[in-house]
Chains A and B, each alone.
Chain A
Amino acid sequence: AQKITQTQPGMFVQEKEAVTLDCTYDTSDPSYGLFWYKQPSSGEMIFLIYQGSYDQQNATEGRYSLNFQKARKSANLVISASQLGDSAMYFCAMRSYSGAGSYQLTFGKGTKLSVIP
């Protein structure tokens, strides 16, 4: 079974500092993808970044980067130069392929990030 673990229920970071949000995953499928989503207080789910299991380099999207350590099964999100607008819930998710044309998208419980002015 697929499982995503986010061990930090809440985190604080000073504005303009960098912050790392932890995510570990568990799957026996050889092919999978890892995602991070942001959910502001307004409730919508905003896609941030994606890493495929066969990608050789860590994904980056603007101020977001994904620190992918395959052997450790971790996919931490790094936000550089935090802004007040980064205050939100952050979810790590994994899409794993179960064969026979089926796959699932599984989410962690989330980390609430608060950026302090």
Chain B
Amino acid sequence: NAGVTQTPKFQVLKTGQSMTLQCAQDMNHEYMSWYRQDPGMGLRLIHYSVGAGITDQGEVPNGYNVSRSTTEDFPLRLLSAAPSQTSVYFCASSSYRGGEAFFGQGTRLTVV
């Protein structure tokens, strides 16, 4: 029962570097999303997808790209890392028909 697998768990980047946070789910969920969590700000939606080939922007999309080529995978790309992107990132998936959202374990990203 893997659920939502998110990698890596920890990452340190230098300003200007790019990287991809991986997210995979094995529950055949249509809906997948990425959040960032900062102290006092809750979870803010970065990008989301309602199915393969369909993505849309959330509340804080700038500096991030996503794609959804398969139902299972929803990677988040940081194009040119900035210190403001230091945060904890969560990937989540849920069925479009309802029910709870399942979360990955989170990625703690530090940009120096």
Contact = CB atoms under 8 A, between A and B. Distances in A.
Q: Label chain A's interface by main secondary structure.
A: strand
Contacts of B88: 43
Contacts, number: 59
A52 interface: yes
A81 interface: no
A83 interface: no
Interface string B26-69: 00000101010000111111001011000010100000000000
A47 B103 CA distance: 9
A12 interface: no
Interface stretch (A13-21, A64-72, A97-105): A97-105
B105 interface: yes
A21 to B, nearest CB: 13
A85 B101 CA distance: 22
B56 A110 contact: no
- Size category of the A interface is 20 to 34
Nearest to A110: B42
A109 B45 contact: no
Interface residues of B, number: 27
Interface of A: 4, 6, 9, 33, 35, 37, 43-45, 47, 50, 52, 91, 93, 95, 101-110
22 contacts: A4-B42, A9-B40, A43-B88, A44-B105, A45-B106, A47-B100, A47-B101, A50-B99, A91-B42, A93-B43, A93-B101, A95-B94, A102-B50, A102-B56, A104-B58, A105-B45, A105-B92, A105-B101, A107-B35, A107-B44, A108-B42, A109-B42
Given A33-B98, A43-B105, 19 more contacts: A9-B40, A35-B100, A35-B101, A44-B103, A45-B90, A45-B92, A95-B94, A102-B56, A103-B96, A104-B33, A104-B48, A105-B31, A105-B45, A105-B48, A105-B101, A107-B43, A107-B44, A109-B42, A110-B42
